[in-house]
A and B are shown apart, each in its own frame.
Chain A
């Protein structure tokens, strides 16, 4: 390559020789659709954020996060036979700080919601949430329970809902692939429910419930307040 024109590829030679060699025999390891489309040019022209989206969607680290029944099906999805890794999204990470995607596999109850919120907050941006099973949609079969949060979306925003009790591994794979597709296209989901937030106890509006607990909880403790009567 001539050194006086550093940024221009003279591909007349390359086109005829290298590509032929690679596509036709001597070295056909790169004989792919991509190679055909791009030719032998070493450059791919794309928008950087589009490229980043494609990368994000193609390599997702999942949080190893088991809650209830659905986590058993989630384990099956990761393991032999279903093998979610085939789709570039099967590396379970035990720490939220290394994960991109959190699959919420189960019923969320009042005691667990603040913890889940904390785990979600610890994940680095951009992060995505897959709600697995009916419990993360509405509370599922336990919706009428006194202790059950009526869906994961009451606590954290959810990108993909997978219905089922529990969903089959195939359904989970479909949901994850759908999420990848959306990420690659740069789409995000609107948050439709106003989530419960972690707030300082002192900032809560004073009412009868707060007054009764004033002795037990310090004003700077983080709390989550559940208004069961307003739950969807």
Chain B
């Protein structure tokens, strides 16, 4: 069985800690207990963050800081650190850090987990919590000159704002002024640049042809997704937004993230038939997303709209046609509903199955073409093998997930490790490559397309044989959902780019009180300086392409 973990990393071998054992481990640090639906929560004082997290990381093995949620409550500010284990994603723990309303200062977790750097900057930017000991606490999504913290309670949205168009300054100039030999040059890449895959701005400092320092500047597509979701009702108004986070046709994967969190929050059981349809649709999306990733990666490395890009789009068009038959839309599907999907497969069903099978039949040939053009090409190999190296330990500390992490040899895929949908009952493999370089990440994506095709094929067979009177596409869900007051949940699924998590806090109304999106691209992009500093500029562009970020999800 392919879904079993390799022998040496059997999840049964990972030590499980009960809630009380962790409480014993933390001892006096814990000043209160909470119960989140996904994990036990431990309340700690704001000056014990580092101590608590290092205990959990080193003594109990919680080495994955998945997400940092910040929120303002009626009487306090709160930062929640959602921890997991890379070896067993079902083991979770939440660390809750309350801070006073008048002086929201909390210790930074950055020395323990590198990924906390950006997460805490975002928390500071949007909610207004101060992190003591943070190396570089400034705004990350909103412009530097923004006034107020938009997700805090007393924010006035009508207030005028002034945004400046300022030249970037060379951060290294001061150090290098006296040294004649190593003059550095400051270079803006983006926000409008063909290699940045959207509106990303890289502040690069070059030493000759080499990158001395690169600082990704994001927020050029910060569309207030969290605010939009907090203003929408659970049942219908939130579902259209996930499509627009990762908009590279990965819509159904994103919808699943919200659906999974909200279903677990409201205790909704999804019929098995709907789960099979979801699994099939999600994997179709994954193929479309990876195809674009491969196509644009080739575009970045070769530098022109050549055949590979066109072939990638050609395959995507086929997938999009199938998805359009299924959902009625090419890109923004809005197909999932809480408790199932919106409608059954299109009639005549045989035609739909034939079309899907035709696509799957032609896919190996198309992939062969890709392998001929890309992975078998010496030029691309020379450009990608051994460049953009991301060692597994570094990837883990930055919370990288998805193909980026699997390209660094870490065997972590939520579809298998924290099973949902119908994946458990299907036969497929998790693709891992241990080259840690740009080439490995490319290979992981290409191989995952094959695995997705295997999954779809099995789903089509299952759907075809499903008895006609048992085709239940939706559970019985009340028209207005009001999850219990003060329930909290953090749930993640394996999106196209990695672990896409949703944190929801319900307050007894039909809208979420806090809706936090843990975007895989946000964490993955943080690794760019690690991969690029000291490398050549073109290799940085290749690394950026191999990260496969999508700015809609980085900025939300």
**Chain A to chain B contacts (Cβ below 8 Å), 23 pairs:** A68-B223, A69-B244, A79-B310, A81-B317, A110-B161, A111-B163, A115-B191, A115-B199, A141-B228, A141-B241, A142-B224, A145-B223, A147-B150, A148-B224, A168-B330, A209-B147, A209-B162, A213-B162, A217-B164, A222-B166, A224-B162, A225-B160, A227-B160
Evaluate contact between B161 and A145: CB separation under 8 angstroms: no
Evaluate contact between B310 and A146: CB separation under 8 angstroms: no
The residue on B at minimum CB distance from A165 is B332
Closest beta carbon of chain A to B82's beta carbon, Å: 25
Closest beta carbon of chain B to A181's beta carbon, Å: 26
User: Chain B 215-227 against A: per-residue CB contact (8 Å), 1 yes, 0 no?
Assistant: 0000111111101
Is B23's beta carbon under 8 Å from chain A? Answer: no
Evaluate contact between B145 and A217: CB separation under 8 angstroms: yes
**On chain B, which size bracket covers the interface?**
35 or more
Chain B interface mostly helix, strand, loop or mixed?
loop
Cα-based distance from A141 to B228 in the complex (angstroms): 9
Which residues of A sit under 8 angstroms from B240, Cβ to Cβ? 141
Q: Which of B151-159, B490-498, B531-539 contacts A (4 or more CB under 8 A)?
A: B151-159
Evaluate contact between A68 and B247: CB separation under 8 angstroms: yes
Which residues of B sit under 8 angstroms from A118, Cβ to Cβ? 165
Q: Given A80-B317, A110-B163, A209-B147, are A72 and B249 neighbors across the interface (CB < 8 Å)?
A: yes
Q: Which of B529-556 contact A (CB under 8 A)?
A: 551-552
Evaluate contact between B145 and A73: CB separation under 8 angstroms: no
Is B194's beta carbon under 8 Å from chain A? Answer: yes
Closest beta carbon of chain A to B191's beta carbon, Å: 5
Evaluate contact between A223 and B165: CB separation under 8 angstroms: yes
Which residues of A sit under 8 angstroms from B228, Cβ to Cβ? 141-142, 144-145
Is B198's beta carbon under 8 Å from chain A? Answer: yes
Evaluate contact between B163 and A107: CB separation under 8 angstroms: no
Evaluate contact between B552 and A69: CB separation under 8 angstroms: yes
Cα-based distance from A225 to B519 in the complex (angstroms): 30
Q: Which of A14-22, A28-36, A59-67 contacts B (4 or more CB under 8 A)?
A: A59-67
User: Chain A 68-107 against B: per-residue CB contact (8 Å), 1 yes, 0 no?
Assistant: 1101110110111100000000001010100000000011
Is B313's beta carbon under 8 Å from chain A? Answer: yes
**On chain A, which size bracket covers the interface?**
35 or more
Evaluate contact between B144 and A166: CB separation under 8 angstroms: no
Is B142's beta carbon under 8 Å from chain A? Answer: yes
Closest beta carbon of chain A to B552's beta carbon, Å: 6
Closest beta carbon of chain A to B227's beta carbon, Å: 6
Q: Which of A105-154 contact B (CB under 8 A)?
A: 106-107, 109-116, 118-119, 141-142, 144-148
Which residues of A sit under 8 angstroms from B220, Cβ to Cβ? 109, 111-112, 115
Evaluate contact between B313 and A115: CB separation under 8 angstroms: no
Cα-based distance from A148 to B142 in the complex (angstroms): 11
Is A52's beta carbon under 8 Å from chain B? Answer: no
Q: Given A72-B248, A81-B317, A209-B159, are A147 and B223 neighbors across the interface (CB < 8 Å)?
A: yes
Closest beta carbon of chain A to B463's beta carbon, Å: 27
Evaluate contact between B313 and A80: CB separation under 8 angstroms: yes
